[in-house]
Structures are given as structure tokens and as C-alpha cells.
Amino acid sequence: MAVVNVESEIAGNVWKIQAKPGDAIEFEGEIMILESMKMEIPVLSPKAGIIKEIKVAEGEAIGEGQLVAVLDV
């Protein structure tokens, strides 16, 4: 299996993690929701696969381009 890194497109706070390691996820499935400037922005899977790792925690402040999850595809 190939590994795909999922990065945040924006800076913000991790509001809610929707998927956990071992979960199957579809292409553009919601991995987590970020909160930035009072807006909720979903982080979507770039490919279908299995969540290998979640690299952030709920409530954590993250930066643009930060690694947030790893997928096996």
C-alpha cells in the first residue's frame, strides 16, 4: 500500500476529528473539521483508503500546510 500525507489547507483549530486510525475513508470523505475565523472548514481525504494515523488532537492550533493525517491507499 502507498502512503498519502494529508495536510491542512488553512491555519486554525482542530474542532472535531471525524475519523480514527483503522477507519476506511472514501475519496473526499471528511477526516476532521477545522475552525478558523468562526467558520467550520472540513479536511477531506485526497484519495480513498484507510486512516493510518491522525497527527493532531481536538483543540490543537495548527498551521497552513501542517501534516494532519496519514492514509494507506
What is the value of pTM for the model shown?
Answer: 0.94
- Distance separating alpha carbons of residues 71 and 73, to the nearest angstrom: 6
Cell of 54: 491522525
At 3-34, the pLDDT tens digits run: 999 999 999 999 999 999 999 999 999 999 99
Q: What is the pLDDT of residues 51-62, one digit of tens each?
A: 999 999 999 999
